[in-house]
Amino acid sequence: MRLILLTITTLCFTIIAQGQSKLEKELQEKFWNQTGSQITAMEIPVKWNEESAVILKDHRYIQYINSGKVVYFESNKHQLIKIQDQASLEGFSEISLNKDSKISFGWTTTSRKETTIGIRIIKSDGTVSVVNVEKEEVEEDDKRKIAIPNLEIGDIIDIYIQTDRKERDFDGLDIYPAVETTIKDNYPILDYRIAVEVENDFFLNMNTYNGAPAVKEEETERSATKMYVVEAQNVDKLETNRWYFPLVEEPSVKLQVAFARKRSNEYAAQIFKGEDGERKATVDKADVLDYFDRKFNRAYSYSAKEVIAYIKKGKFKTKADKLKAGLDYIRFNRYTRFFEPIFAYQADIVAGTPRTKCYNLYFGIYENDAQVVNDLRAISEEFDIDYDIVLVQPRYDGELDDLLIKSNARVGLKFNTQPELFFFDFSENMTLERFPEQLEGAEAYIGSVVKKKKISSVTRTTLRSSAANENVYQEKINLSLSDDNKGFKMDRELSATGHFEREYIFSWIHWTDFLKEDYSIYKDQEHFYECGSKKELLRYAEQFTALEDKKIEEFRERREKSTDREWGCCNS
């Protein structure tokens, strides 16, 4: 593992490599205000003597300031790491960074002038040497690598990263990526601190979980800002296991900052909204109802008129059948049928802008689940199908009582039909008959919908869990000797149901297979190559057929090689 501060959190940055600028001198005075002797005098608990490395200090800070149309960000991270054996010596002898690698606090830095990094080495006798970052940095395979020369067991690495950035506000609404991190690291930590300073017109959601120290407020130098801090001492290292969700089981911190310039921006914000300048620490039914009220207005039937007409023409007896037919229609007509022209563009079969009369065969693809949710709501209202809005947090993000970050919540629909149906996922094989396995058995908020009215109440329930016999992966293998008795023949039949079906479907079925099946169902739908000039019609059809054949052959070759590797029977 490379320097742990570069892998545990989520700040995107680039490195500045320059001489002793005024900024660097100021930062060195700020972060390197302890002498080497003071640092080596830090006492490490005896219980950590056998650890590969010990993080003596792990301090992080972020600040959000608004000035007119510009938002200013400042963030820094300061770590002291003591090397205690050969493994950590080798691991920390080089810092490897992606150009836009994520470290903490979540924005993308593209300018090399925005981030400064400083590294110094403290020897066991207290002597200090500063690493020449410009000299030791090389760029290789889209990575920045900084060597730390003359590093020895017993040395202490003292590193800081400072980022200063400004971002112009264009639409009055900015929701910054959430920070979710365990306090623990791969090495024990002597002193941990994370601080967030925000101006009073920002929204801040922040809390700690699973036994982590409580968030506390500290005074700032500016009356217009507030700072919230989490501190911990003598933190044991992170011990990971299989089937292990760190944010559920380990002391952790979650935070997210948002900025809304106007009331209308607040209304549109995809957050659980608190008060300006005040830390929001929990989410309750009232917050969820507020979110539902802002998010789910009346469904727009216009975009669903085609699918509603299709359902009315069909002979679908039950409400459940109407919903399933509607989703299948949406899946094909608003998503998968556009795969053909997309693949054709990628293969340079189609170039430029299509003829106006052919636009509907190239454009109109749905891009997110919100569009599908709207159409399913419109279908439900048209055919008097009772449904609810569901908001649930996946098990790996914690209990429902720990919900704080809106982006962690999954929002979907529950249709009160026989059988009960759900919609959460927008994909090429989306279905109403199951929902993601990480949501099974999870507690959820339910917003009851009265036809063509706003959600008036929110309750809590537990989503159902599928049974073992609903999720089955099965292989039937028949082996026989070859005719010359020098090898064997294998006949393997694979089957999957439930969640296994979703996991394996694209290993077994090529995209041409399900598209052909869809076109056989929706016979009135044209292929993109059936619209255009006579010359285009001939060329598109021939070239696309050749592309399909090529992709199918490549798919079969991959499957054969995969089987060969699995059984170890061939060298190809």
Q: In this predicted model, what pLDDT tens digit does every residue of 199-251 receive, in sequence order?
A: 988 999 999 999 999 999 999 988 889 999 999 999 999 987 777 889 999 99
Quote the distance between the C-alpha of residue 23 and its chain's center: 34
Reading the block at residue 53, the tokens are 């490395």
Backbone angles phi, psi at 542, to 5 degrees: -65, -45
Report the run of H or E that residue 447 belongs to, with start and end. Answer: strand 443-448
pLDDT of residue 20: 54
Give the integer Cα–Cα distance in Å for 536 and 357: 14
Give the integer Cα–Cα distance in Å for 310 and 143: 53
pLDDT of residue 141: 74
DSSP at 16: B
pLDDT of residue 324: 97
Architecture of domain 4-280: Sandwich (2.60)
Burial class of 172 by CB neighbour count within 10 A (0 to 12, 13 to 18, 19+): middle
Report the run of H or E that residue 306 belongs to, with start and end. Answer: helix 305-313
Taking the domains of the chain in order of start, what are their residue ranges? Answer: 4-280, 302-466, 473-567
User: In the beta sheet, which residues pair with residue 160?
Assistant: 78, 118
Report the run of H or E that residue 392 belongs to, with start and end. Answer: strand 387-392
**Reported pTM:** 0.82
What is the sign, positive or negative, of the torsion defined by CA atoms of 447, 450, 451, 452?
negative
| Residue 156 and residue 39 in contact, taking contact as beta carbons nearer than 8 Å | yes
Give the integer Cα–Cα distance in Å for 533 and 540: 10
Q: Which residues of the chain have pLDDT under 50?
A: 1-19, 100-112, 571-572
SS3 473: strand
Quote the distance between the C-alpha of residue 19 and its chain's center: 37
pLDDT of residue 570: 57
Reading the block at residue 32, the tokens are 């390197």
Reading the block at residue 94, the tokens are 């080089």
What is the sign, positive or negative, of the torsion defined by CA atoms of 415, 418, 424, 425?
negative
Burial class of 96 by CB neighbour count within 10 A (0 to 12, 13 to 18, 19+): middle
Quote the distance between the C-alpha of residue 526 and its chain's center: 36
Hey, which bits of 123-240 come out as E strands? 128-130, 137-140, 143-147, 156-168, 173-175, 179-182, 189-199, 202-209, 216-218, 225-235
| Residue 45 and residue 180 in contact, taking contact as beta carbons nearer than 8 Å | no
Opening angle at CA 420, ends 414 and 421, nearest 5: 55
pLDDT of residue 7: 36
pLDDT of residue 144: 74
Give the integer Cα–Cα distance in Å for 362 and 339: 9
Give the integer Cα–Cα distance in Å for 168 and 66: 10
pLDDT of residue 12: 37
pLDDT of residue 457: 87
pLDDT of residue 276: 80
Pairing of β 252-260 and β 173-175 = antiparallel
SS3 115: strand
